[in-house]
Amino acid sequence: MRVAVVTIFPEMFDALTEYGVTRRAFEKNIIEIKYFNPRDFTDDIHNSIDDRPYGGGPGMVMSPEPLKNAIVEAKQWINGKVKVIYLSPQGKLMKQSRIKALSEEENLIFLAGRYEGIDERIILNYVDYELSIGDYIVSGGELPAMVVLDAIIRYKPGVLGNDESVHQESFSEGIFDSPNYTRPEIFENIQVPKVLLSGDHKKIKDWRRAQAITKTKNTRPDLVRGHNNYQLS
């Protein structure tokens, strides 16, 4: 999969490409990533990428022309089927099923905005999906793009070890993990639950499931099946 990122801060993506399991995915060329900086696609002497909003108001808006040029270059590099994703507070809420669908696309372009956002005509003419990572405000689209890309990478064959990837399936979606313990057996006067030391694998499995359900019901009742929960699309 080729991933093009349109951003004025490409160095931020080192957090993804230089660390942990995501780094391994780039090293193995499971994902190829390239950055397209709107700053490199400006026409004017000052390399302006933003301008004042028509109609007035606070802040600045990313100008359409440098963004368009960056997207066109990104498409040339990708040289195949591609979907363009714009990360925005106005987007559809990201969730695991959308991550999975995106992981099955051939190639992706991520558009990370700064300032108050981008000129609406870029969204109208170039964007396939407008996505948000949650109902809180961060300073730009780069961190959201990295969050979404990290989650996509975890679906790619060969990225997670076998032990980790079975966890991604069926049971793990829509329910919390059960609590984890490792040595020592007593830490700050708290004993590891005896059942985990019993060696009775059936009992351990049942206990873990019960713990997971109780914790999910208490913290996120909206996730528990049949618990006043209707499935949205």
Residues at the site binding ligand 9D3, with contacts judged by CB under 6 A: 87-89, 113, 116-117, 132-134, 136-141, 144
Closer CB to ligand 9D3, 4 or 145, in the complex: 145
Give least dist CB 217 to ligand 9D3, A.
27
- The residues pairing with 34 across neighbouring beta strands, listed in sequence order, are 4
Structure tokens at 127: 């964007």
Q: How many C-beta atoms lie closer than 10 Å to residue 145's C-beta? A: 27
Closer CB to ligand 9D3, 88 or 216, in the complex: 88
Give least dist CB 88 to ligand 9D3, A.
5
Per-residue buried b or exposed e for 171-185, using 16+ beta carbons within 10 Å of the residue's own CB = eeeebbebeeeeeee
Q: Under a CB-based contact definition with an 8 Å cutoff, are residues 48 and 42 in contact?
A: yes
Give least dist CB 189 to ligand 9D3, A.
41
Structure tokens at 149: 């890309």
Distance CA 141, CA 6 (A): 10
Closer CB to ligand 9D3, 38 or 113, in the complex: 113
Give least dist CB 100 to ligand 9D3, A.
19
**Who's near 84: CB < 8 A, 6+ residues apart?**
71, 108, 109, 111, 126, 127, 128, 129
Closer CB to ligand 9D3, 53 or 174, in the complex: 53
Closer CB to ligand 9D3, 31 or 112, in the complex: 112
Structure tokens at 230: 């209707």
Give least dist CB 94 to ligand 9D3, A.
8
